Each structure stands twice: as structure tokens, then as C-alpha cells.
Amino acid sequence: MPVSYQIRASRIDTIAHGQVSVQDFHQHLLERSRDDRVGDGLCELIDATQVTKVTFSPFDVPHLVKCQEQHAYLFYPIPLAIVATDPLAFGFARSFETLTGRGNRLIRVCATRRDAERWLDAVARTPRPTPGKDRTVRVGTPASSSDS
């Protein structure tokens, strides 16, 4: 399988290697959504530095975003860092970041694993909304929790 993952501490480490298709990422999302260990409090790092060929076009990126959104209802959208060094893979990842970032998901594309890990560590220290609670942030007013 060109996309595989393992869970370590509070992070999902995903490796994409070789020739990768839209179906491969869709299958990854499906498997991950069925994994009982995946949930709030985790973040994900996708290492795409070993991808040798991307077998989809820029027109397929919105489909990947839709797949991600379909599986996101099963768990709180977790922060995601993508590491890509190939210019084509990096461009696809940036398109995914742009389209996915319109929602409430934190996502970043990095050129190095070190930068990705630093960003994920910083995000992990930042409080996130609780699943099922109001995710509205009002600028200029202190955050309060009326449902507690």
C-alpha cells in the first residue's frame, strides 16, 4: 500500500511512498476513520518525501478534500502537517491546504519534517475547541463557556 500509518504517542505518522493515487489517499482516510485509536488530541504528519509519482491531476485535489471532509465527521478534524519535497507533490499539497483550510481544520505544508514537527508541537500547545461545543470565537471578548 503506497500510504500507510502508525500511531505514536499523540501523533499519526503517515508515510506516502512510490506511486500514489487519489484512491490510495481515499483508502487511507477510510482506514484511519475506522481506527478506534484516532480521535481528538491527535495530530497527523504525512511524509510525502518518498513519493516518486503522483498519478492524479490538480483537478483531483478537490475530490481529496471532499473525501477528507466525508471522513472528518467521525472524529474532530485533527491538525495536519504535510512534508513534501518534490515540486509537484508540494504544489498538490499546497492546493489541498488552501482548499481544506477554508474550514476549521488546521493544516500546513512544509518542506522539511523538522518544520512540520515544530508546527505540530506549537499547535498541540494551543487550546482547541471541544468537539460538540460552540466553535465561534468572538474577537475582543473573553472566551466563556456557558455550557459547562
Please report how the helices 61-72 and 22-34 are oriented relative to each other, as an axis angle in degrees rounded to 10. 10
pLDDT tens digits, residue range 48-97? 999 888 888 878 888 777 777 766 544 556 788 999 998 888 888 888 88
The answer to whether position 51 is within a domain reads yes
Instruction: Write 28-35 long-range contacts (CB < 8 A, 24+).
Output: 28/3, 28/4, 29/67, 29/68, 29/70, 29/71, 30/71, 31/5, 32/5, 32/71, 33/71, 33/74, 33/75, 35/7
Q: pLDDT tens for residues 112-136?
A: 999 999 999 888 777 655 544 444 4
Give the number of domains in the chain: 1
CA–CA gap between residue 131 and residue 67 (Å, rounded):
20
Q: What secondary structure letter does DSSP report for 133?
A: S
Residue 13 lies in a domain: yes
Flag whether 46 is in a domain. Answer: yes
